[in-house]
Amino acid sequence: MKRVYFTLALMSLFGGLNAFAQTYKTIGGVKYGLMNDNKTCIVIGDAGATGDITFLKEVEFDDGMHTVTGVCGSEDYKDVTGQENGFSGNVNITSITFEDGSQITWIGDHAFKNCLNLKTINKVPDVLNEIKPWCFEGTALESVDLSNTNVTIMKDGVFFNNTSLTSIKLPNKLENFWDNAFNGCTALNNIVMPSTVVGIYNSVFEGCAALTNVKLNEGCTTLGHHVFKKCPLATVTFPNTLNSIGEYAFEGTTLTTVDLSNTQITSLPKGCFYDCEQLSDVKLPKELTYIGQVAFFKSTIASITFPPTLQKIDSWAFQYSKLANVVIPTNCSSIDQAAFANNDKLTTVVINGTDCYLAYQAFWNCSKLKDVYITSKSEPKAERYGFPFDNNPKVHVMKDYVDVISGLTKGENGNPCNTDHFDSNFSITLGKEWTTFTSAYNLDFSNVEGGLTAYTAKYNKDNDAVALTPVKKVKAHTGLILKGEAGKSYTLPILNSNEDALDAVTDNQLVDCVDALWSTGRDKDYFLSNGEFVKSTNNGWALPGKSYLYISSGRPNKSESPLRVYVDNTATAINGITTNPVVKDEAYYNLQGVKVQRPQHGVFIHNGKKVVLK
């Protein structure tokens, strides 16, 4: 065994010598070395190179012409030559030209590191398939064309700190960017991603101070840590295939909008959009389960829709944002420390989570926060609350839990909600005369001061219209349409969690959105817009607290026109949604809401009013 080991050790020691014969030639300041196959040679490195250096296609040694196949870096064949190779630190080189027909397939690590006056590379050979790490670190390159090469990986730091590089044509077959590939390229102002790119890893474009927009290709799945940190990005196009974003990936960018709704991302990690102070509009991934620490710290987001899959919002995630209201979805089990602290615009919070934990200072320093709605049907427990508030907001719970939650204590610190205002009332302000609505509470509309009315809705295919039926005591998760005075606030009672005196609602085709729902049934989903039901034309979120009309069988005539609406199933007039322009279309309808083509004698509805034709 000892003898075998000794033989293997010798083979390892002299492997480099066997691969490379020590036969050299210098041409134009470039040193070439003959390989042991006596067929090919490589560029060893610097032998007084200045100005524009040329890498020859072939070099003649005593036994004939030999094809040049590679350019050494600092560690290539170091054990043979006894020194670091390549051209690292040569400040006299201004450009590199590959001779026509060059067969160079690789360039070694650090080969041109700190060649401070190297500005251009000419005629890069198509056969080039590898550029090793840190190869062109710290050069003065201004533009590079690698588009026709066979390079599939931009390796670690390959163009690190090239502060004069304004543009690069990436290899058409490129698949991955490794760490720091273009880190510190402060003049780089445009990147066009080949369709083959799969991964862009850590700090690849960090500090690229001129990079303002990036369109990521379909097929890209991975963005690493700090990948675009401190770039002045105004826009980024995120592909559907993206499934991973690293920590602090977009820290300090100038993004104003982020649309991740069609990506495959399930987790947004720590600081992914940290300190993006101009970020005001965010669409989260549909299957998102986790939002990490300081993920959107110091953004200017005023409104955000959390998907129903969300399970946790970590510490400081939205601290110093500009959110006006927040709806936490049912599956969310934890809002961690200071997650929404210092939101000075926040007025309303709805917690739909059945057992959601509200951590210490979760909503600290939210000076305008007045109403917190905890919709859980399970009895409140002290363990769910860790003193999340500091300005004594009113907490609204189901009628049978008011005394329970107000009487909770946690050690010697009093109520763990850190407030003394509890009741079973629900307040709503209508933005328009007609609006859709859903709540996770059982609610009583029987005697609401000011005349607020709630309706369920059913589509009637015979007359291609929607009938509204008024309801009074409504079960939680019932899609509704409300009619009241625009701009007016209404207060209605929250009923017991197990209330049994509720209206029996049948044939209601309004889909409840206690949590946000993703609408994709474009030919079957209808949304209330400006007082009429219109077909959904795009995929998107149906907002929490709202509802929409779903016609499972579709409209028989596949009409694109808005749906007519009339009140209750025995209506004598089509006066449901007064702003519906279809009502004022000069057509005539009978008292059952059916359009009459040639009205003659009788009572009809015309422009929303009864008329008598004699």
Whether residue 443 lies inside any domain: the answer is: yes
- Whole-angstrom CA distances from 295 to 14, 122, 210, 240, 358 are 53, 43, 24, 21, 18
- pLDDT score, position 568: 60
Four-point Cα dihedral 225, 230, 236, 242, nearest 10: 0
* Among 141, 157, 186, residue at a domain's last position: 141
Tokens of 524: 């079957």
116: domain CATH number? 3.80.10
CA dist 224 and 250 (Å) reads 10
Ramachandran category for residue 361: left, alpha or beta (phi over 0 → left; psi -120 to 50 → alpha): left
240-249 long-range contacts, CB within 8 A, separation 24+? 240/264, 242/216, 245/269, 245/272, 246/201, 246/202, 246/272, 247/271, 247/272, 247/292, 248/272, 248/274, 249/223, 249/224, 249/225, 249/273
Which residues, 6 or more positions from 410, have their beta carbon under 8 angstroms from its beta carbon? 382, 385, 387, 416
Whether residue 294 lies inside any domain: the answer is: no
Q: How many CB atoms lie within 10 A of CB 389?
A: 20
Whether residue 353 lies inside any domain: the answer is: no
- Give the residue from 429, 400, 420, 431 showing the smallest Cα distance to 494: 400
Mode of pairing for the β-strands spanning 199-200 and 176-177: parallel
Tokens of 126: 């198509």
Whether residue 102 lies inside any domain: the answer is: yes
Whether residue 254 lies inside any domain: the answer is: no
- pLDDT score, position 80: 86
- Give the residue from 298, 234, 297, 290 showing the smallest Cα distance to 265: 290
Three-state DSSP state, 8:
helix
Whether residue 529 lies inside any domain: the answer is: yes
Q: pLDDT digits over 321-360, tens only? A: 999 999 999 999 999 999 999 999 999 999 997 889 999 9
* Helices and strands, number each (H, E), in the chain: 4, 50
**Residue in this structure with the two tokens 């990005």, named with its chain if needed:** 233
Q: Using an 8 Å Cβ cutoff, are 194 and 174 in contact?
A: yes
**How many distinct structural domains can be found in the chain?**
2
pTM (two decimals)? 0.86
Q: pLDDT digits over 451-500, tens only? A: 899 999 999 888 888 889 999 999 999 999 999 999 999 999 999 999 98
Whether residue 603 lies inside any domain: the answer is: no
Ranges of the chain with pLDDT below 50:
1-18, 570-585, 592, 608
For residue 319, the cross-strand partners are none
CA dist 369 and 272 (Å) reads 27
Whether residue 256 lies inside any domain: the answer is: no
* Among 94, 113, 141, residue at a domain's last position: 141
- Give the residue from 352, 282, 362, 268 showing the smallest Cα distance to 319: 362
Q: Using an 8 Å Cβ cutoff, are 419 and 394 in contact?
A: yes
CA dist 614 and 606 (Å) reads 14
Give the side-chain half-sphere CA count within 13 A for 595.
16
- Give the residue from 441, 449, 445, 447 showing the smallest Cα distance to 496: 441
Q: How many CB atoms lie within 10 A of CB 38?
A: 13
- Give the residue from 307, 346, 355 showing the smallest Cα distance to 329: 307
Q: Residue 435: give the domain boundaries.
A: 426-571
| b/e burial code for range 404-443 (CB count within 10 A of at least 16 → b) | ebbebeeeeeebbbbbeebebebebebebbbbbbbbbbbb
- pLDDT score, position 611: 61
- Give the residue from 415, 421, 368 showing the smallest Cα distance to 392: 421
The 3-class SS string of 385-430 reads ECCCCCCCCEEECCHHHHHHHHCCCCCCCCCCCCCCEEECEEEEEC
